[in-house]
Structure 1
Amino acid sequence: MKNKSIIFVFDLGRVLLNIDPIKCYECFLSLGISKEYESRLKELFQEYESGQLHESQLLDIVNEETNSSYDYEAFWCCWDQMIIGFIPEMIDRLERLKEDYTCVLLSNTNSRHQKVFEELFMNTFGYPMSEAFDALFYSHQMSCSKPSSEIYHMVENKIKVDNSRFYFFDDLKDNLNSANGLGWNIYHVTPDVTATLEYIELLIQEF
């Protein structure tokens, strides 16, 4: 039954898009960035995804802290290797869901990856990624990230429905728990795509 007041909220990585962070950090190792620096690098990328750092600022910090001079393109090429490809079964279901329900994207991401995956979406499916959703919420544009309650409140303020109407799909339990604490319905996405699709079908039957 068509009901645009029901809000499906999807994370991106490991929900709609296959990613491989290990491949990314292996590439950084090949550049000469030590394994010991990896945790610090992750901290910097979290700041980048919260809009606190720009690309050039992040690399300047890395170069200064490691006493190095990593090439800009080589460094960011490693970062891009995280993105593998969209999960076609999930995009197909998303397209059909959007006909009857409100579908939004809520992703911890960054300006560089946004360009990469939006171009990948266009090349794969033949239409802009923005048309696949009713709204796009990107952490770097919102200056905050999951699991902070602030980012969920920003979504709520934009999409004014009762919190019980949100159905949130994410692969990280911390993100889900934070949303659930605000009254959102949650589903923990695993690599089992069939299980996620079956859960969506069960939900629709209940509406």
Structure 2
Amino acid sequence: MIKNIIFDFGDIFINLDKQATYREMTRLGVTKISDEMIAVYHQYEKGLMTTDEFINFYHDKFGIEKEDLLNAWNAVLLDFPKKRLDFLKEVSASKKYRLFLLSNTNDLHIKWVQNAVGPEFYSEFKSSFEQFYLSHEINFRKPDSEIYEFVLNENNLIAEETLFVDDVKENTDSANKLGIHVWNLIPGKEDVTELFTKNKIN
């Protein structure tokens, strides 16, 4: 029986255009994503690098102005349909499941989201979860197994009683290896509001 549900954020609740940042960076003259850039991104997403350090890396390496980088970096983030918030609030109000958010995100992205949806919407979203885990605040990131073990251990969750919803197969595969049930949601074809029709949850 499923007692706990862990949700990803991007392309589960908020829509993403995952190629947008690459397109914008290309427009700014950055046409190749190097191993160093990926390492810096992962460091930033784990909260092991400050926002200023992250911005300065791109400014110093490519001469990109701060405002241009911010716009390019946040271009990935689109809208947050209210029907998904309403659905989440219903599930939360039912008290049938313990709900958790587990997102790979960073300081710049979450601040953009807070500003875009407004304080009331964001507060309703965040308060629907028992715990709200953002990678840059807990210093772990998916798909590393440590992040799932952290959530399980911190909240005394049993893997076999837990469902994890994420749009990235690498992330759901990693969680599933620990015995966690998973739904690898396909954006554009499936919606989180279909949670109970797509999954056999008691």
TM-score by length of 1: 0.84
SS at match of 2:41: helix
**Which of 23, 26, 32 is 1:29 aligned to?**
26
Structure 2 unaligned blocks of 5 or more: none
How many Å apart are 1:17 and its aligned residue?
Answer: 0.9
Matched-pair contact (CA < 8 Å) for 2:59–2:66:
no
Give the structure with the higher percent helix: 1
Contact 2:12-2:192 within 8 A present in 1 as well:
no
AA at the equivalent of 1:28:
M
Give 1:33-48 correspondences, 5 Å limit: 34-37=30-33, 40-48=36-44
Q: State how far apart, in whole Å, the 2-side matches of 1:104 and 1:186 are.
A: 14
Counterpart residue number, 2:4: 7
1:77-123 per-position Cα deviation (integer Å, ceiling 9, x unaligned): 21112110113332222111112222111000001111121333336
2:122, 2:6 → 1: CA distance? 23
User: Structure 1 stretch 38-47 or stretch 54-63: which is displaced more?
Assistant: 38-47
Number of equivalences? 200
User: Identity across aligned pairs (percent)?
Assistant: 25
Q: Verify: 1:91 aligned to 2:85, yes or no.
A: yes
1:101-120 → structure 2 map (5 Å cutoff): 101-120=97-116
CA distance in 2, matches of 1:172, 1:194: 13
Question: Are the counterparts in 2 of residues 118 and 128 from structure 1 also a CA contact under 8 Å?
Answer: no
Q: Which residue number in structure 2 is paired with residue 166 of structure 1?
A: 162
The one-letter amino acid of 2:153's match is N
Look up the SS of the partner of 1:9 in the other structure.
strand
Point out where structure 1 has 5 or more consecutive residues left out of the alignment.
none
The equivalent residue for 2:186 is 190
Give the conservation status (yes or no) of the 8 Å contact 1:121–1:127: no
**Residue 177 to residue 194, structure 1, CA distance change in 2 (3 Å):** closer
Number of the residue aligned with 1:75: 69
